[in-house]
């Protein structure tokens, strides 16, 4: 009875056996991310995690969900699938970390036109690498084979993460005041936002991804597929060594949309553009599309993936803490009194 059902499902385009093979390939990778708190193993109906509330007066759970967007097109064109999962994790855990929370666990969702087990395993290898970088566990997920919905060689990847923070230690911008210093933390490139504009501007196809660009020192495809930086451990080290008042993850909407999200009422951010280098890829994009500077800063991170606010007296300590965590940081501006918003000078 079950064999007959399996064969009919396969005729409809869904290979149940391939699904079993995918689970077999990814199980060791998933278990490599397990941290204290994980209960059970891969294969249950729900991922189980028992958080440690010790030392917390008012534990608050913080969640985040996101996908990779059209950056996936680069993975398809280059037939390289082992880093895109890092992006999926980064887009969730970086947001969680901005309020001071430590990510605990992650779940993924992979939808494919056809289940090629080795490809699914390659995608998951990136997800598990991202989880290890963030110090969280991959405790479950779903691989959905959807023939007729996705092309046979394409897929989508999204994720969901949960973290935790003591309420009294939450970072929400409420303590910001005039004179606080803004510190920018370097990005690794375009990260995972603005790729629809990137692909249109640079005419991305199977040929252009192979083009070597002198300004980049690599091919266009290699540059654009560079994974998003995961800032979790850097933020944790920063919090342990400096009084962090606000953090913004510079994602879609660039500076103009994301920096105001870290501000309280009557606080204004003044940022000096020339205080940090603009990565070459953004110059390439702007030149190719004749894109005005304001639009660039309203779309991309421009080389700064994170903006942090600390008291002026803590600025040096913050820069050192970020450097000790392997990050390059720049003092980029300050907080002033005024209408909630941002001024780039």
Q: At what angle do helices 232-241 and 315-324 cross, to 10 degrees?
A: 140
Task: Summarize pLDDT for 89-145 with one digit per residue, the tens.
Answer: 999 999 999 999 999 999 999 999 999 999 999 999 999 999 999 999 999 999 999
Task: Summarize pLDDT for 291-335 with one digit per residue, the tens.
Answer: 999 999 999 999 999 999 999 999 999 999 999 999 999 999 999
Question: What average pLDDT score do residues 42-62 get?
Answer: 92
Structure confidence at residue 16 as a pLDDT band (50, 70, 90): confident
Q: Which helix (H) or strand (E) holds 304?
A: strand 304-310
Residues in contact with 233: Cβ distance below 8 Å, sequence separation at least 6, in sequence order: 133, 134, 135, 325
- Sketch out the chain's domains with CATH numbers: 2-169 (3.30.1330.10), 181-344 (3.90.650.10)
Closest CA relative to residue 163, chosen from 114, 97, 228, 80 = 97
Task: Summarize pLDDT for 57-72 with one digit per residue, the tens.
Answer: 999 999 999 999 999 9
Instruction: Report the distance separating Cα 136 and Cα 140, nearest Å.
Output: 12
Torsion of CA 115, 116, 117, 123, to 10 degrees: -90
Structure confidence at residue 19 as a pLDDT band (50, 70, 90): confident
Residues in contact with 200: Cβ distance below 8 Å, sequence separation at least 6, in sequence order: 289
Residue matched to tokens 């210093």:
181
- pLDDT, position 1: 38
**Residue 280 CA: distances (Å) to CA of 277, 303, 304:** 9, 9, 13
Q: Coil, strand, or helix at residue 180?
A: coil
Residue matched to tokens 């780039």:
344
Whole-model pTM?
A: 0.94
């Amino acid at each position: 009875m079950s064999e007959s059902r399996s064969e009919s499902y396969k005729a409809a385009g869904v290979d149940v056996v391939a699904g079993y093979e995918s689970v077999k390939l990814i199980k060791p990778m998933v278990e490599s991310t397990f941290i204290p708190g994980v209960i059970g193993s891969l294969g249950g109906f729900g991922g189980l995690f028992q958080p440690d509330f010790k030392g917390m007066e008012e534990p608050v759970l913080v969640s985040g969900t996101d996908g990779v967007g059209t950056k996936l097109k680069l993975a398809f064109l280059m037939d390289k699938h082992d880093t895109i999962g890092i992006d999926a994790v980064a887009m969730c855990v970086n947001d969680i970390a901005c309020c001071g929370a430590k990510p605990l666990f992650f779940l993924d969702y992979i939808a494919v036109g056809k289940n090629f087990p080795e490809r699914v395993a390659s995608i998951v290898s990136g997800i598990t690498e991202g989880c290890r970088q963030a110090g969280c566990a991959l405790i479950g997920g779903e691989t959905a084979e959807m023939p007729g919905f996705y092309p046979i060689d394409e897929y989508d990847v999204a994720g969901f993460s949960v973290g935790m923070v003591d309420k009294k230690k939450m970072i929400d911008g409420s303590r910001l005041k005039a004179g606080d210093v803004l510190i920018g933390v370097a990005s690794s490139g375009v990260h995972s936002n603005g790729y629809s504009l990137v692909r249109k501007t640079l005419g991305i196809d199977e040929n252009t991804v192979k083009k070597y660009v002198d300004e980049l020192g690599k091919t266009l495809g290699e540059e654009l597929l560079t994974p998003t930086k995961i800032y979790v451990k850097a933020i944790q080290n920063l919090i342990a060594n400096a009084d962090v008042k606000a953090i913004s993850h510079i994602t879609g909407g660039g500076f103009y949309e994301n920096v105001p999200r870290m501000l309280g009422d009557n606080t204004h951010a003044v940022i000096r553009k020339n205080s940090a280098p603009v990565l070459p890829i953004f110059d390439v994009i702007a030149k190719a599309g004749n894109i005005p500077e304001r639009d660039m800063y309203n779309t991309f991170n421009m080389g700064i993936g994170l903006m942090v606010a600390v008291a002026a007296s803590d600025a040096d300590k913050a820069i050192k803490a970020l450097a000790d965590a392997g990050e390059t940081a720049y003092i980029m501006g300050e907080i002033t009194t005024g209408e909630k918003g941002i001024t780039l000078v």
